[in-house]
Amino acid sequence: MIKQGTSGTYLTSLQRRHFYYLTGCDLPDCSFAYEIDADKSTLWIPPVDPEVVMWAGMPLLKQQAMDRFDVDEVLTRDELKSGESLSRMLGKQQSNLMVIEDRVDLSVFESNNVKEQQKPKIDFSWARKAIEVCRVVKDDHEIAMIRHANAVSSYAHEQVLASVKRAKNERELNAVFVMHCHANGCREQAYGCICASGTNASTLHYVHNDMPLMGRLNLLLDAGCEWQCYCSDITRTFPLHGKFTKESKEIYELVLLMQSTCMKMIRAGVLWEDVHMKAHTVAAEGLRQLGIFHSHLSTQDILDSHITTRFFPHGLGHYLGMDTHDTGGNANYEDPNPFFAYLRVRGTLPAGAVITNEPGIYFRQFPLEQELKDGMWKGVIDEEVLKRYWEVGGVRIEDDILVKEGGFENLTTVNSDVDFVEAAVVGSG
């Protein structure tokens, strides 16, 4: 359990994800063991402490925990620390124990009740790796949790659109999103909200969220809530004044095309690198058509130059589940190929995985302006055309996708069509 608070205060706690995956237990200060040969699960919960009860109320009792968490036995942490329950579990001979490093207090094995011949051989790597692989494919319950988080987040995004005209700065729209999530039962955010207006949207993980909206064209809102330890991750970009400028609309429609083209490829067994490269191909062709890339260049010429990584630098998506950037993606951040250096998922997608589809086009003045001055992109980029797009900042559109055999399901329900987005902002106030 990761506790959030300061000295003398009781604030919310975040359950460690691997522990929750195995137990469904959201209580703090618990331990869990599963005996493979005996097919028996044991959960240790905090004992009743009168002082804690005075400040925080009555904790869950043993029988209540048994009923709620579907384990075979519930004991208290005192029984774990004494070593008595461990001694019974370990038996007479040395056992093999698989633990997640830094997630277990090994001092319990030093208790006088645990005999020397009982002390187990400990493996610190297998359990973590196995859980991270298992977490990629979601069961029906997990999908329902992610679907609910998406429903609430989609509604909150819609309420932000309905509030644009009343807002004066980024933090107000950030607050609107969080308020509607909280009001609908999702008290935790899956990650820090990105509420980036104007050129701030060219920073991928912009988190200041405090700049005035006056004089800025668009706002990029990347925000998602959490429901029962499962995340959503949604991004929408919209015009602050109700109508996209010519350049903003061109980039928005290009990003929509990138997303819809890639969406059609998503199904069980597809190689994610292929889907990611399709997004780059559409970006290359679209930016050439707009005149940002010189028209004499072929699509392959553009891709060979890697220039699209300056405008679309991140991966197309990542697995989503208990963590926003969920486990099992097998990313290779040391890949020398700039197309794949930030790709969080490698390999084929399995049915039951949930993955984000989040293409974007960004106009990042650093390092591109200096590279242009140095002549790095001579014959590739038309600088005069590019100047018209700096103020667009960045456009990203992100949906959460359930991978199926032969296709997909989009779990995100907030609309991203140009007409809807513009009408929603025009109607706000």
Least confidently predicted of 29-43, 79-93, 177-191:
79-93
Give the confidence band of 114 by pLDDT, cuts at 50, 70, 90. Answer: confident
Contact in structure between 220 and 393 (CB atoms under 8 Å): yes
Residue (of 289, 339, 294) closest to 315 by Cα position: 339
Fold match, 2-134 / 140-426:
no
Q: Work out the mean pLDDT of the chain and round it to a whole number.
A: 95
Average pLDDT over residues 151-169: 98
pLDDT of residue 357: 99
Tokens 């589940």 -> residue: 321
How far apart CA 263 and CA 315 sit, in angstroms, is 15
CATH of domain 140-426: 3.90.230.10
pLDDT of residue 117: 72
pLDDT of residue 376: 98
pLDDT of residue 9: 63
How far apart CA 272 and CA 263 sit, in angstroms, is 11
> Is the pLDDT reported for residue 170 higher than 70?
yes
More confident residue, 88 or 115: 88
Q: Where are the domains of the chain?
A: 2-134, 140-426
> Is the pLDDT reported for residue 268 higher than 60?
yes
How far apart CA 116 and CA 93 sit, in angstroms, is 10
Contact in structure between 81 and 111 (CB atoms under 8 Å): yes
- Vertex 309: Cα angle to 303 and 312 (nearest 5): 115
pLDDT of residue 101: 79
pLDDT of residue 109: 80
262: exposed, middle or buried (Cβ count in 10 Å: 0-12, 13-18, 19+) = buried
How far apart CA 422 and CA 161 sit, in angstroms, is 9
Average pLDDT over residues 83-103: 84
Average pLDDT over residues 315-321: 99
pLDDT of residue 1: 54
Could you tell me the fold of the domain covering 2-134?
Creatine Amidinohydrolase; Chain A, domain 1 (3.40.350)
> Is the pLDDT reported for residue 284 higher than 60?
yes
pTM for this prediction: 0.95
Average pLDDT over residues 140-162: 99
Does the CA dihedral 177-181-187-191 come out positive or negative?
negative
> Is the pLDDT reported for residue 316 higher than 70?
yes
CB-based contacts of 400, cutoff 8 Å, min separation 6: 146, 150, 232, 233, 234, 320, 354, 355, 356, 410, 411, 412
Q: Which residues of 179-209 are buried (b: 16+ CB within 10 A; e: fewer)?
A: ebbeebebeebbbebbbbbbbbbbbbebeeb
Residue (of 260, 199, 210) closest to 390 by Cα position: 199
Q: CA of 31: how far to CAs of 15, 78, 79, 352, in Å?
A: 12, 11, 11, 29
Least confidently predicted of 55-59, 217-221, 312-316, 384-388:
55-59
Contact in structure between 127 and 100 (CB atoms under 8 Å): yes
Q: Is 259 helix (H, G, I), strand (E, B) or coil?
A: helix
Least confidently predicted of 14-23, 140-149, 224-233, 379-388:
14-23
Average pLDDT over residues 144-169: 98
pLDDT of residue 254: 99
Does the CA dihedral 135-138-140-145 come out positive or negative?
positive
Contact in structure between 76 and 29 (CB atoms under 8 Å): no
pLDDT of residue 143: 99
Average pLDDT over residues 156-164: 98
